[in-house]
Amino acid sequence: MESTKNLPELINAVTSELLRLRYSPVTISKCNAVWQKLLSYTQAKDLLHFSEKLSESFLLEYYKYPADYSGEFPYGTRIALRAVRMLGDYQLYGIILRKRKKQQPSCPDGFTDAIRGFVLYSYQSRNTVKTVERKVFIVKCFIEYLTMQNVSTCSGINKQHASGFITSILGLKKITINQYLYKLGCFFRFLHSEGSSSVNLRMAIPQINDAKERRIPTVWSPKEKSVACPSHLILRIAYHILLTKEPYKELGTEYLAEREREREQRVIRQLQLKGYQILKVS
């Protein structure tokens, strides 16, 4: 990194770039918190410009990086590293370098129709676009495994293939494995319902014991729930008021209906981009 950029100007430029790239307000506020610490640090050192040496000494003094870490870094340290790296990238290249998206696994022709049908099935189940994309990614990973096992169609899938694929992902984190198992089970259920598989391979998927944490405990009494629900809503409203610095506005009864219409249009656009034709039946 070259020591040629005035730090306050650099911070303002990076903040503007983050806003242009539509980073979330939470991400920007976290980065700004780190940058303010860095600004105070440079002022105490009587420095004006950002440099690699400055960033290294700042991270060592404030976050003990890399001296005290031998394993995974704490969340706060990762945020600080990311914020400092943004400054360095922008000073060097004039842009904020972003992670390259993972390449989607390939899908042979024998599975194309099954993937398309599964996408429609998922949208009919009221899954969000993000959830459907994640499902398709996991199914394509499974199909890639099937290709290595010389399986070219859905009718050739058996329990041994499912078991072998599950064994191949056992090195992943527990939460990731649970996601794979659940979404793979959805795909197997779809294949069985469509007649593409004579056996319900969903039964070959191990049971997921870790249930999702509920927002409100089911053991609470109605009185406790009646107190917790409004309190939770008020806290969320207060959080957004503090975050956006804007007064509270009552959205009205049409808000939910409008959101539902927007969601419907978004799903339609996503399907049209993938080549589907949508006809509304009145």
Question: Tens of pLDDT along 185-221?
Answer: 899 989 888 888 777 888 778 776 655 545 566 667 7
- Give residue 5's pLDDT: 66
> Could you tell me the two tokens for 143?
């199909």
Nearest to 278 by CA among 109, 128, 133, 123: 123
Q: Are 187 and 118 in contact (CB under 8 A)?
A: yes
Tell me, what's the pLDDT at 212?
A: 52
As a whole number of Å, the end-to-end CA separation of the chain is 62
pTM, two decimals, is 0.43
Separation between Cα atoms, residue 2 and residue 88, nearest integer Å: 9
Token readout for 119 is: 């996408």
Radius of gyration from C-alpha coordinates of the chain: 25
Q: Is the pLDDT of residue 77 over 50?
A: yes
Looking at the chain, the whole-number percentage of residues with pLDDT higher than 90 is: 6
Rounded to 5, what percent of the chain is helix, strand, coil?
A: 65, 0, 35
Q: How far is CA 39 from the centre of its chain?
A: 31
* Mean pLDDT score of the chain: 82
Q: pLDDT digit string (tens) for 207-258?
A: 766 555 455 666 677 888 788 788 888 888 888 888 888 888 887 778 888 8
Helix 75-93 and helix 7-20: axis angle, to 10°? 100
Check: CB of residue 140 under 8 Å from CB of residue 164: no
Contact 25, 69 (CB under 8 A): no
